[in-house]
A = this chain, B = another copy of it.
Amino acid sequence: MTDFQPADPQWEARVRASFDRLGIMKTLGARLGKIAPGSVEILLEYNEGLSQQHGYFHAGVTSTIADSAGGLSAYSLFPVGRAALSVEFKINMLNPADGDCLRAVGKVLKLGRTLSICEIEVYSQRQERESLCAKMQQTLFQVAART
C-alpha cells in the first residue's frame, strides 16, 4: 500500500494505542480502519451531534478525523519514543459531507527527521457510493513522546 518501512516492528500496536489516547475520537464515535506503514484510515458514522447547520458533517469534524489520520500515518513510521504534533493544516471541502459515514485516509508525502508532510483524503459514503468530500495537506513536527 505504501513504500515506507516502519522504524519500529511494533508500529501497529503503537498506532492503535495512540489512537486510543485521543479523547476526541471517543466523543465523536470515530474508529480506526485499515492501517499500513505510512497510511492510516479513520471511519466515522453520522449522528446529529456531528452536524453543521444543514445537517451535514461539520467541516471541523471532517478536519478532526483527517488531522488524526495524517498524524497517525506519520507516527506509524516514527521510531519508538517519538510523537507527532500538528504544526498546521489546510483543508478544501470539495463536495457536501452528506453521507452516512466518513472515511479519512492519510498518506505520508515526506518523512523528515523534524517535519513530515501528509495528505489526507476524506470520502463521504452513502449506501454503496463514495465521493471525495475533502482533501487536506498537513505539516507534522516530530517530538519526544510524553510517557
Interface, chain A (partner B; CB < 8 A): 18, 21-24, 26-28, 48-55, 58-61, 63-68, 83, 85-95, 109-110, 114-115, 117, 119, 132, 135, 137, 139, 141, 146
Q: How far is the CA of A2 from the CA of B90 in the complex (A)?
A: 25
* Bound-complex Cα distance A65 to B88 (A): 16
Q: Please, how many angstroms separate the alpha-carbon atoms of A28 and B3 in the complex?
A: 35
Task: Tell me the nearest residue of chain B to A21, going by C-beta.
Answer: B53
- Supposing A64-B63, A88-B92, A90-B90 touch, asked if A137 and B139 sit within 8 A by C-beta, the answer is no
Q: Of B85, B86, B94, B137, which is within 8 A of A117 by CB?
A: B94
Which listed residue, B60, B114, B137, touches A60 by the CB 8 Å rule?
B60
